[in-house]
Every structure is written in C-alpha cells, then in structure tokens.
C-alpha cells in the first residue's frame, strides 16, 4: 500500500468505534456525547426492529447500523478500521427470571465479543452492573477477588457476575479492557425502559398524571419508608467516564461507576418535584411481591480505583443531575 493508503487506514482506525446497545439508554447517550466531541465514524449495533427506540439514534451522526446478530461477521470483514468496541448492549430487566435469555444475550454474546477483540487486537469496554453485589454482604469494592464470592439477587445480576468471573479467568485478554459496574444510572433517553426506567422518570410521569408520587414501602425494619439508599449517577457523568477510559486506557480491570455517595429514594423524588417548582406529595405502596425478596436496600460504589486511575471529571450531585434531566429533557421530551 502507498503511504497515503496507510494514512487513510490509520485515520479511520483512530475514529471508528463500535457501540453495542446503541438504540438503548446509556449507549445512545454515549453516541450523543461522542458526536459533541467530534467523533462521527461510529458503528451502532443493536436490534433495530424496536421502532419505539428509533428516536434515540435517528438524529445522531454515525457511519453504519449493524444488527446485533451480525456483529461478529461484520468485525471479521471490517476489523482493520476499528479502534475500539464499547459493548453496552444487554438484557437489563431485573424482573425477568428466564435464565436462558440472560445466558444468550448477556453471557454468551459477551464472550463472542471478547474473543473477537482478542483475535483482532481491539480494546474493549463492557457493561457489568452493581446488581452483581447482591445485598452487599461483601461490600462494594471493585477488586478482582470479590466476584467469586458475590451472590446476586436475580438472573440479570448473575449473568453480569458470571461474565466478570469468566473474563478474569481468561489467559488471553484484550490488551486493554474495562468492565464497568454501573450503579443506578438515570437520565435522558430511558423512556423506552418502562418498568425499569429510573424513579425520576416515573416520578415525573406520575406528577403529570396525578400530581403525586408513590414510592416503594420498606419491608425491613432497618429502613424507614423512602429511606432505602442507592448510589444514583447521572448518565452524562457515566459517558464522560467511558470516554476517559477510551482515551486514557489505564490499568485493565473491573471499575465501579457510581458517585460514591448513596442517597435516598425520597431525596430523588423530592428533587423531581423541586425541579418542577412543586411541593413534594409523596406516599408509599408495597413493593411488588415478584421483586420484594430481590430488592437492594443499599448500594454505594467505592470509587477509589477510578480516581486512582486519574479520573478528575467529578460527578454531579443528585440535585444537579435531577434538575438538568427534568428541565432539559423530561419537560419537552427532549432526546439527547
């Protein structure tokens, strides 16, 4: 090849990023942020038959849409032009208890992506989950000794933890890889998640409909109603961390991705009312029986590993994140 041809390939390699789950919540926000940063040669991978999610990607700048079933064959043909794979696509419904679905879409599919990244020398960032931590019996540290001990509360959490364990055991790994243990992510482009959308989204919708919000009642004495605690992180902070890992590529491994500060569900709902200039009207209903025994009452990410890796972007407070989400996205139904 001529020097110009090599230069063309090099320039394309720098820019082309494969993103799975691109019609979904976090991935579509990542595409929006990458577009803002000037990244345009993006390969969007998903099951694009879900027309409701089309608004999440139709106005984005990208190079090609690839059906998720065709990703491995697409990589076989185009791997020379790819710089990185960001694999965020997954079945994320914590109320689904068919393990076969999770084994197919989360575990086995992720193994195929991992192996293609090894074969073609591609760095990989993939989505794990704080659901792997179960009830938090072993804490919320993202070290590599804990996954073998963890006891997730549902098949979704199991599928994510099983892949983490599998990845850590592999002799051959991508030259850079990061498994991101997402805590409670909220923000624009989650409208399609229905029951699994954030409490902020549901609070906003209930306020529009009834003027009030019902939160889940506590069913254990350690927590009062509404005082269940989670580590809530705004999706606009999540995508900044992903880009940091893409560009800086620190030490490979599992990374927690929360704020490091747990807040109550009551705070979450009350701040949604506040962003709408309304007084809170919050009541409590029983947690549905199908998830009551699988419910995390507390999560809080230990963020030291990411900070030690050099991340200095900080995280929005719950108040800041909720206000931006409500005023700039929920009001007006604005996709990012």
Catalytic residues: 156, 193
Which residues have a Cβ under 8 Å from the Cβ of 158 and sit 6 or more positions away?
Answer: 99, 102, 152
Instruction: Give the three-state DSSP class for 24.
Output: coil
Task: Tell me phi and psi for residue 199, to 5 degrees.
Answer: -65, -30
Q: Please, which residues have CB within 8 angstroms of residue 63's CB and are 6 or more apart in sequence?
A: 16, 40, 41, 42, 43
CA 207 remoteness from chain centre: 26
CA–CA separation, 274 and 320 (whole Å): 11
Q: Which of 336, 87, 126 is nearest to 235 (CA)?
A: 336
d(CA 318, CA 264): 10
Element (H, E) at 328: none
| Residue listed under structure tokens 């197919």 | 104
Ranges assigned E (strand) in the chain: 17-20, 42-46, 64-67, 84-87, 124-129, 177-182, 184-186, 213-216, 229-230, 232-234, 253-257, 263-264, 282-285
């Amino acid at each position: 090849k001529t020097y110009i041809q090599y230069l063309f390939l090099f320039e394309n390699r720098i820019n082309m990023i494969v993103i799975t789950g691109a019609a979904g919540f976090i991935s579509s926000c990542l595409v929006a942020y990458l577009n803002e940063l000037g990244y345009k040669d993006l390969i969007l991978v998903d099951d694009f038959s879900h027309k409701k999610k089309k608004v999440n990607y139709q106005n984005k700048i990208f190079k090609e849409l690839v059906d998720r079933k065709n990703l491995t064959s697409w990589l076989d043909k185009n791997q020379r032009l790819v710089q990185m794979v960001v694999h965020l696509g997954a079945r994320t419904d914590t109320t689904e208890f068919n393990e076969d679905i999770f084994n197919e879409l989360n575990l086995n599919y992720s193994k195929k992506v991992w192996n293609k990244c090894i074969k073609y020398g591609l760095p990989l960032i993939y989505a794990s989950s704080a659901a792997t931590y179960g009830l938090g019996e072993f804490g919320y540290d993202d070290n590599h000794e804990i996954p073998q001990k963890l006891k997730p509360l549902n098949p979704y959490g199991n599928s994510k933890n099983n892949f983490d364990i599998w990845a850590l055991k592999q002799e051959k790994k991508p030259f850079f890889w990061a498994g991101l243990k997402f805590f409670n992510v909220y923000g624009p482009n989650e409208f399609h998640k229905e029951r699994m959308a954030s409490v902020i989204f549901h609070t906003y919708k209930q306020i529009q409909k009834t003027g009030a919000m019902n939160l889940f009642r506590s069913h254990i004495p350690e927590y009062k109603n509404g005082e269940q605690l989670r580590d809530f992180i705004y999706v606009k902070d999540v995508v900044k961390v992903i880009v940091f890992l893409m560009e800086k590529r620190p030490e490979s491994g599992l990374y927690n991705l929360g704020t490091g500060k747990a807040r109550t569900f009551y705070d979450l709902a009350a701040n949604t009312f506040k962003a709408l200039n309304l007084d809170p009207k919050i009541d409590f209903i029983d947690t549905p029986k199908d998830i009551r025994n699988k419910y995390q009452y507390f999560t809080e990410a230990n963020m030291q590993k990411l900070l030690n890796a050099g991340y200095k972007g900080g995280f929005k407070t719950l108040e800041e994140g909720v206000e931006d989400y409500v005023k700039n996205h929920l009001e007006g139904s604005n996709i990012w």
